[in-house]
């Protein structure tokens, strides 16, 4: 009968306590054995009822009945002390007992589904668990409790999940950002966070979001992408990939440019694979999402202000502190403010091989964006001085783009060659050339070499890569 457990492992605290004589109208479970006050954990908030779609009336009635009994009978404090697997097993057992006690018209498989929904809502991120577990989803876009979209293979489509209401969605949003100690509420309605697997999260809630809580999740594949994988996806040719490997190995200062969702972070992750394992790499990010493939990495993360409006740590603070940490390379996940000047300073003071990403549509615009971001810092430097700083600090710009068919490709590998007057000069080493479309509307093209002798040649020669560099350029030119 509901409430009786006979298979609890020795030493474990059951989440359900046996009851003497449950009332047929409302079965109850008492609180589990009370822990010592000195280490008493805080009781989690009561979760909202889970939702499953599509639903049928019979399942809905059973779900509501089971949820009511489970909410009243489960001991959340005991549940919170268990590991995830044991807690889910406890919830499944409780749901099965409720189904048997109530004589509900549901199959064992349906009971298991209801138990999974309840466990997801109590222990995880509710309806999102289903989407987070699926491979192939790049983005999850929640535009309110009933409007959820996903991006797969570059295309956006409606997802088959819903939240019960806006309060349910807000509860999940707060749980997501709370994992890394951040908050989202009326006093702080915008928040950047990350999931335990490194996926990036942005939350914005009413009153700024008019139609309800809005959350956007940028998922990362569990398998770390490499340049070889990107070749398989036709994001670049083998010769273009070899050029990127050379750039990473010879410690060129790189800016990766592209629009939102174009693959800048993916490219940065791939590029770091070709650093020497003996180098000390320090990363600075708003929310740690980089998946560097090196053994000696220090990850730093900005911090928002607290409730009193103090304690904020900005990107500029992190970069300045990096210089005191003996870095070989400094990597800024996303350059979007005055910290651009500090990154250029680091590139110019012996930290060769430093990298960052910026939002822009082509390599020339990337330089303009950096120039404008430096101006945001109020330094009042002459334009010529800023451009000379950029020209001497940045060696290569890698431009990535999401094309109209949803594919992501490297469109430019451009090197900075110097200054002519007050203009930063550059030349393309590789450029994507459009060739047409196939019968499915997919864009056909490839990256071709310009055939020009790279300024990068002298740097490559210091690392014994000059012959390989010229061979790659010649191969892609034909």
Tell whether the model's pLDDT for residue 169 goes beyond 60: yes
Domain ranges across the chain: 40-123, 129-218, 227-477
* pLDDT tops 60 at residue 26: no
pLDDT attached to residue 136: 85
| Greatest mean pLDDT among 231-235, 336-340, 363-367 | 363-367
Q: How confident is residue 203, by pLDDT bands cut at 50, 70 and 90?
A: very high
Residue 110, CA distances (Å) to 48, 59, 85, 99, 441 in order:
20, 8, 20, 10, 42
Taking the C-alpha atoms of residue 26 and residue 73, their distance in angstroms, rounded to an integer, is 10
Q: Can you name the residues that pair with 30 across neighbouring β-strands?
A: 17
Contact status, residue 269 vs residue 291, Cβ threshold 8 Å: yes
The H-assigned helical ranges of 405-465 are 457-462
Residue 311 pLDDT grade (very low, low, confident, very high; cuts 50, 70, 90):
confident
Q: State the pLDDT confidence band at 70, using cuts at 50, 70 and 90.
A: confident
Q: What is the pTM of this model?
A: 0.76
Express each pLDDT in 143-156 by its tens digit: 999 999 999 887 89
Q: Are 73 and 94 in contact (CB under 8 A)?
A: yes
Give tens-digit pLDDT for 327-344: 999 999 899 889 999 999
Give me the CATH code for the 129-218 domain, please: 3.30.450.370
Q: Check pLDDT > 90 for residue 68.
A: no
Average confidence score pLDDT of the chain: 83
Residue-level pLDDT at 326: 92
Note the pLDDT tens digit of each residue in 437-452.
Answer: 888 888 999 999 998 9
Exposed, middle or buried, 81 (CB in 10 Å: 0-12/13-18/19+)? Answer: middle
Tokens of 25: 């109208």
**pLDDT beyond 70 at 436:** yes
* Tokens standing for residue 329: 């390379």
The CATH number of 227-477, from 3.40.50.300, 3.40.50.150, 3.30.43.10, 3.30.413.10, is 3.40.50.300
| Length reported for the chain | 478
């Amino acid at each position: 009968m509901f409430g009786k457990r006979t298979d609890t492992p020795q030493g474990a605290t059951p989440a359900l306590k046996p009851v003497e004589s449950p009332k047929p109208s409302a079965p109850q479970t008492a609180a589990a054995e009370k822990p010592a006050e000195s280490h008493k954990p805080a009781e989690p908030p009561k979760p909202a009822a889970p939702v499953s779609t599509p639903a049928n009336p019979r399942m809905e009635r059973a779900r509501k009945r089971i949820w009511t009994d489970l909410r009243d009978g489960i001991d959340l404090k005991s549940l919170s002390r268990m590991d995830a697997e044991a807690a889910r097993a406890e919830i499944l057992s409780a749901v099965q007992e409720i189904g048997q006690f109530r004589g509900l018209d549901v199959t064992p498989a349906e009971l298991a589904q209801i138990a999974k929904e309840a466990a997801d809502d109590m222990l995880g991120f509710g309806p999102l668990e289903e989407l987070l577990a699926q491979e192939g989803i790049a983005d999850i876009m929640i535009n309110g409790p009933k409007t959820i979209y996903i991006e797969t293979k570059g295309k956006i489509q409606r997802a088959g999940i819903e939240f019960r209401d806006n309060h349910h969605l807000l509860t999940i949003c707060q749980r997501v950002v709370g994992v890394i100690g951040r908050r989202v509420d009326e006093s702080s309605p915008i928040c950047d966070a990350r999931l335990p697997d490194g996926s990036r999260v942005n939350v914005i809630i009413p009153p700024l979001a008019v139609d309800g809580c809005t959350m956007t999740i940028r998922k990362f594949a569990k398998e770390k992408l490499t340049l070889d994988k990107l070749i398989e996806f036709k994001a670049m040719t083998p010769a273009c990939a070899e050029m990127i490997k050379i750039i990473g190995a010879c410690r060129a200062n790189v800016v990766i440019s592209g629009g939102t969702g174009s693959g800048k972070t993916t490219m940065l992750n791939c590029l770091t694979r070709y650093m020497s394992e003996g180098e000390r790499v320090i990363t600075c990010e708003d929310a740690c999402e980089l998946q560097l493939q090196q053994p000696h990495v220090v990850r730093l993360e900005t911090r928002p202000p607290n409730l009193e409006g103090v304690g904020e740590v900005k990107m500029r603070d992190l970069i300045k502190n990096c210089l005191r940490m003996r870095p070989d390379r400094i990597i800024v996940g996303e350059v979007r403010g005055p910290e651009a000047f500090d990154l250029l300073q680091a590139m110019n003071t012996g930290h060769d091989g430093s990298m960052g990403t910026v939002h822009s549509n082509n390599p020339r615009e990337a330089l303009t964006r950096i120039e404008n971001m430096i101006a945001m810092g109020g330094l009042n430097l002459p334009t010529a001085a800023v451009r000379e700083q950029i020209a001497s600090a940045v060696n290569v710009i890698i431009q990535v783009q999401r094309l109209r068919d949803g594919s992501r490709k490297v469109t430019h590998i451009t090197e900075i060659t110097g200054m002519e007057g007050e203009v930063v000069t550059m030349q393309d080493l590789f450029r994507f050339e459009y060739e047409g479309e196939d019968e499915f509307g997919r864009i056909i093209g490839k990256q071709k070499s310009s055939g020009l002798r790279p300024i990068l040649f002298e740097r490559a020669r210091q690392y014994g890569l000059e012959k390989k560099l010229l061979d790659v350029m010649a191969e892609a030119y034909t």
